[in-house]
């Protein structure tokens, strides 16, 4: 009944309202909202602002300007970013809508975001839509509905689960994304677009600073005192001329039991999330999950820049993994650690100590956000333990021991006792955690993690420190790292284990060495970096890929991006000895500014395609598949 009354009121409003203005339909694209303008606008207030740039990921397929619908005015196009790697599991789709006041902006503005999300396994789409320079509301709504239907129509082609389609957007795009979720199943908003027989339903919404209400005490839309506002241009009416139309276009008007789980990622500009709390209250009535993430002190265009971009990616990924859980490991016991006392323990070591005897069943230690300054130890009896952080950027396990420091028992700490976390147990897993040694840049050797057990897995983790950060200290150990960030100065990845690094970001902070492998002679494989990204501080130009700690050191970089900080010859010797003469340093199909094989030292090898075939995950790790 309410909907009938609403439609009648809308019809009456149209009958008696002033004619819709088409003055804003210029036919000329408005380019005022762009990356450079936003950067220059905010640089004064945010001097450390960093523009996020596109990156040439070799494992992501990019398809540009695919036609998804044809209107009477023109053809509408979208871009696709998808993982090249085949997957037996159907993937989550993200359709991302650009902002710009429904009048400016373009789909290319968020390529870096979609690249990073695709690198995490999502299939990402970004459509153009008719802006207010060419068509008034609800043309943009109809276009996005058509784009969603196109995604669902092509689900098989992109290996997408049709029940896992998320829509997201920033600013005006965020408003449109929220509108898509709020109008799930409402035929009156489908329009006369393409693929009418296919559902435009979305299963999750991520709204980045998009308003939820146009006529609301918190709203800043509709001020035409100085110039025609973006919303007035879009509607063709001012707020007072046709308030019913302004209400109709608001996601808050339609939110209900049909609305999917929704995440709000917001700046400190409160008017950009007008109506949010009212929207959330409706979701609560129907027990629909929602969450709010706020960047205090940030500008509205936070998504375009660091220091907020990386965290936004983490927030989006974490939300989608919560909404669409896939293959979650089952645990016989879960232990929660929270510094505020809301968990089972307030320290990580206390949680570890609570696992008694020879453990043989999967146990999860869930660690809430916080900086946990503890020297942690996991003994060899406590197998099958998983550490799961709430957020890899703000769940931090750290300590500050380093060589030369005097320990509480009076001993002088050395490299092998400087660890912040030592893992002796087999079958250990860590996800979404930062491991750190915060001893400082000039402290010397200071290990963040020493990993000695067999079958260790680190997913979506960060390893932060300076010299000797990650110590893989057992020749019997096999380890797997995926989507991890590892930064340091000298020999910051070192040891004798067999380790596979998949799609990891390796960051150098000093002209020194990335690896110092000590692979035993009888071990065929040491460190393998596959599809990794090697970058460094902009001042660097003399970093080596590695130096051999022991004579038969084995390191291979396969299909990796080699940044300009790596020196042309690639590799280094170890303190003027002959270790390099028997070292096994190899590269295959690398790319980037410092990847030229012709400039490499003669005792390193460029693999042929045939020789590279032996480097498979299962072969390298001796039959163990960490992905199962």
Catalytic sites, residue numbers: 468, 491
Can you tell me the distance from the alpha carbon of 543 to that of 565, in angstroms, rounded to the nearest whole number?
Answer: 6
Asked if 320 and 122 count as a contact pair (C-beta separation under 8 A), the reply is yes
Bridge partners (DSSP) listed for residue 505: 485, 533
In sequence order, which ranges of 89-192 are alpha helices (DSSP H)? 111-119, 139-153, 172-182
Can you tell me the distance from the alpha carbon of 368 to that of 214, in angstroms, rounded to the nearest whole number?
Answer: 36
Give the closest residue to 537 by CA, choosing from 561, 508, 515. 508
Q: In what helix (H) or strand (E) does residue 283 lie, and over which residues does it extend?
A: helix 276-285
Measured distance between the N- and C-terminal CA atoms of the chain, rounded to whole angstroms: 52
Quote the tokens at residue 628: 């199962």
Query: If you write DSSP's letter for every residue of 51-82 in order, what string do you get?
Result: E------TTEEEEEEEEEEE-SS-EEEEEEEE
From residue 81, alpha-carbon distances to 100, 348, 503 in Å are 22, 39, 16
Can you tell me the distance from the alpha carbon of 296 to that of 291, in angstroms, rounded to the nearest whole number?
Answer: 16
Asked if 97 and 83 count as a contact pair (C-beta separation under 8 A), the reply is no
Can you tell me the distance from the alpha carbon of 503 to that of 484, in angstroms, rounded to the nearest whole number?
Answer: 7
| Longest Cα separation, the chain | 90
Can you tell me the distance from the alpha carbon of 551 to that of 584, in angstroms, rounded to the nearest whole number?
Answer: 9
Q: Could you tell me which residues come within 8 angstroms of residue 404 by beta carbon, excluding any fewer than 6 positions away? A: 412, 413, 444
Quote the tokens at residue 592: 């980037």
Can you tell me the distance from the alpha carbon of 244 to that of 241, in angstroms, rounded to the nearest whole number?
Answer: 9
Cα-Cα-Cα-Cα dihedral sign, residues 164, 362, 452, 582: negative
Q: Could you tell me which residues come within 8 angstroms of residue 486 by beta carbon, excluding any fewer than 6 positions away? A: 462, 463, 469, 470, 492, 493, 504, 505, 506, 507
- Angle of CA points 508, 510, 512, to nearest 5°: 90
- Which strand ranges, in their side-by-side order, compose the sheet holding 449-451? 376-378, 421-423, 449-451, 470-472, 493-495, 513-517, 544-546
């Amino acid at each position: 009944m309410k909907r009938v009354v609403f439609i009648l009121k809308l019809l009456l409003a149209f009958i008696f309202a002033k004619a819709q203005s088409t003055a804003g339909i210029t036919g000329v694209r408005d380019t005022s909202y762009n990356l450079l303008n936003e950067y220059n606008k905010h640089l004064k207030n945010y001097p450390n602002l960093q523009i996020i740039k596109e990156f040439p990921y070799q494992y992501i397929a990019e398809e540009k300007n695919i036609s998804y619908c044809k209107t009477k005015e023109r053809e509408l196009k979208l871009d696709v970013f998808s993982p090249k790697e085949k997957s037996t599991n159907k993937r989550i789709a993200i359709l991302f809508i650009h902002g710009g006041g429904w009048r400016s902006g373009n789909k290319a503005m968020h390529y870096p975001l979609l690249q990073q999300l695709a690198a995490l396994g999502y299939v990402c789409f970004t459509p153009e839509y008719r802006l207010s320079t060419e068509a008034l509301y609800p043309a943009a709504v109809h276009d996005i509905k058509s784009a969603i239907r196109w995604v669902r129509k092509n689900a098989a082609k992109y290996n997408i689960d049709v029940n896992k389609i998320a829509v997201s957007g920033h600013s005006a795009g965020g408003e449109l994304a929220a509108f898509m979720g709020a109008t799930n199943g409402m035929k009156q908003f489908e329009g006369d677009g393409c693929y009418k027989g296919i559902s435009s339903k979305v299963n999750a919404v991520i709204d980045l600073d998009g308003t939820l209400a146009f006529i609301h005490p918190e709203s800043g839309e509709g001020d035409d005192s100085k110039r025609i506002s973006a919303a007035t241009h879009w509607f063709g009416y001012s707020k007072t001329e046709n308030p019913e139309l302004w209400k109709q276009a608001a996601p808050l008007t339609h939110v209900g039991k049909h609305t999917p789980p929704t995440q709000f990622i917001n700046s400190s500009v409160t008017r950009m999330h007008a109506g949010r709390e009212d929207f959330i209250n409706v979701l609560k009535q129907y027990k629909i999950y929602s969450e709010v993430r706020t960047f205090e002190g940030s500008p509205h265009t936070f998504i375009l820049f660091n220091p907020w971009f990386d965290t936004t990616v983490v927030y989006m990924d974490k939300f989608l993994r919560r909404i669409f859980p896939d293959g979650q490991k089952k645990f016989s016991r879960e232990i929660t650690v929270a510094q505020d006392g809301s968990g089972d323990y307030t320290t990580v070591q206390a949680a570890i100590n609570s696992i008694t005897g020879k453990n043989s069943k999967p146990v999860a230690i869930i660690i809430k956000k916080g900086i946990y300054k503890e020297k942690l130890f996991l003994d060899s009896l406590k197998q099958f333990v998983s550490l799961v952080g709430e957020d890899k950027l703000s769940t931090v396990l750290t300590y500050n021991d380093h060589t030369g420091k005097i320990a509480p028992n009076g001993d002088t700490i050395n490299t092998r006792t400087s660890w912040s976390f030592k893992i002796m147990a087999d079958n250990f897993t860590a996800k979404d955690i930062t491991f750190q040694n915060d001893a400082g840049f000039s402290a010397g050797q200071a290990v963040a993690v020493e990993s000695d057990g067999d079958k260790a897995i680190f997913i979506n983790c960060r390893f932060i420190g300076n010299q000797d950060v990650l110590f893989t200290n057992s020749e019997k150990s096999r380890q797997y790292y995926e989507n991890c960030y590892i930064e340091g100065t000298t020999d910051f990845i070192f040891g004798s284990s067999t380790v596979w690094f998949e799609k990891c970001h390796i960051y150098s902070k000093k002209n020194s060495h990335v690896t110092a492998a000590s692979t035993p002679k009888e071990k065929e494989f040491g460190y393998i970096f596959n599809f990794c990204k090697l970058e460094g501080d902009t001042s660097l130009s003399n970093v080596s890929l590695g130096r051999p700690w022991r004579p038969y050191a084995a390191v291979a970089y396969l299909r990796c991006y080699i940044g300009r900080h790596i020196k042309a010859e690639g590799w280094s010797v170890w303190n003027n000895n002959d270790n390099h003469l028997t070292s096994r340093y190899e590269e295959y199909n690398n790319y980037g500014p410092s990847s030229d094989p012709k400039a490499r030292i003669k005792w390193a090898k460029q693999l042929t395609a045939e020789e590279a075939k032996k480097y498979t995950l299962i072969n390298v790790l001796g039959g163990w598949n960490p992905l199962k």
